[in-house]
Amino acid sequence: MDLNFFLSSALNGVVYGAFLLLTSLGLSLVFGLGRVVNFAHGALYALGGYAVIAIINQTGAGYWTALLLAPLAVVPIAIAIERATIHPIRNRSDVYTLLVTFGMSFMLIGAIEYVWGTGTTLLKPPAPFEGTVEIFGNQYPLYRLLAAGVSLAVSGGVFAFIQWTPIGLRIRAITDDPGMAEAIGVNTKWLLTLVFGAAAGLAAFAGALGAPIFAVHPEMGMGILLDSFLAVILGGLGNLPGSAVGAMVVALTKSIGGGYIADWSVAVLFAVVAIALIFRPTGVFGRGRVA
């Protein structure tokens, strides 16, 4: 076995895992707070990719400025979606919100295709990160390492926010028991709206950050949405630390497995998740909801 090949595959997995972490955290937060399975999350990720390109092209802004503005452009859209479609049916069965977000996903993808077309765009990495560095005997794109570092840092910031701020404490209380949190005075509906917006912002940030790595196209969010769901189900729905570990397990399984057994790695991944759920239906790391 070529050790360098293995380590390079693992590094690719960590980089993808860092992106998956951002999208999984958002999914897990929204589910934890409102038991909302947000199928539109992938489309919001794609919207971030398109937003960063649009901001650069329309305003002439640099990549880093556009990277910060792209999520800010997507958050209001997500908040409007939540208030218009999810908020009015909050008291109904979870199936209703699932169907609404499923439909919203196709509407957003349709809107992207209408505005930007169905083609694929690849953004160049910003200077001075266009080059490569030698790692494990291979030339590795410098921007990928930087983007992974940024993703991990932002995810760490999200964890710190949830753990150490008053709003984070309320979010954890709602995740534990939304009805009781409401009864002690927490405005759970408004907090869900804000967290839905923030989760969309994280997804859009991931999409914008990944634009120079992954091809930008209308359905770019579908793959990462599926992987994010696998990560949060594996980690325990609503369990943030579990989702983080789940993201890395999914990314490494796909990346390392893909290097050796190609498409069979996806089958292996689903088998891992299925076996995990048979023995731990609330997620490997517990405290989640039954998937």
Partner 1 sequence: MLVLDDVHAHYGTAHVLHGVSLRVERGQIVCLVGRNGAGKSTSLKTIIGVVPASAGTVTFRGNRIDALAPHTIASKGIAWVPEDRRVFGSLSVEENIRVAAQATARSGTHRVAEALAFFPDLAERAKQLAASLSGGQQQMLAMARALASRPELMLLDEPTEGLAPSMVQAIRTGILQSREQGVSILLVEQNFRLALSVGDVFFVISRGRIVYRGTRAEIVAAPDVIRDHLGLGQAKEIAKWQE
Q: Where does this chain bind partner 1 (CB under 8 A)?
A: 166, 169-170, 172-173, 175-177, 179-189, 287
Q: How far is the CB of 283 from partner 1 (least distance, A)?
A: 13
Least distance in angstroms from the C-beta of 185 to partner 1: 4
Q: How far is the CB of 32 from partner 1 (least distance, A)?
A: 10
CB 48 within 8 Å of CB 204:
yes
* Other Cβ atoms closer than 10 A to 68: 14
What's the per-residue H, E or C state across 19-84?
Answer: HHHHHHHHHHHHHHHHCCCCCCHHHHHHHHHHHHHHHHHHHCCCHHHHHHHHHHHHHHHHHHHHHH
Nearest approach, Cβ of residue 87 and partner 1 (Å): 13
**Shorter beta-carbon distance to partner 1: residue 115 or 180:** 180
Q: Which long-range contacts (CB under 8 A, 24 or more apart) does 277-284 make?
A: 277/233, 282/236, 282/237, 283/233, 283/234, 283/235, 283/236, 283/237, 283/239, 283/242, 283/246, 284/234, 284/235, 284/236, 284/242, 284/245, 284/246
Name the residue nearer to partner 1 (CB basis): 132 or 165.
165
Q: State the nearest-atom distance from the C-beta of 218 to partner 1, in Å.
A: 39
Question: Based on CB atoms, which residue is closest to partner 1, 229 or 285?
Answer: 285
The residue (of 123 and 186) whose beta carbon lies closer to partner 1 is: 186
Helix and strand totals (H; E) in the chain: 11, 2
Question: Of the two residues 61 and 83, which places its CB atom closer to partner 1 in the complex?
Answer: 83
Contact 13, 269 (CB under 8 A): no
> Which CB atom, from 180 or from 261, has the smaller least distance to partner 1?
180
Nearest approach, Cβ of residue 174 and partner 1 (Å) = 9
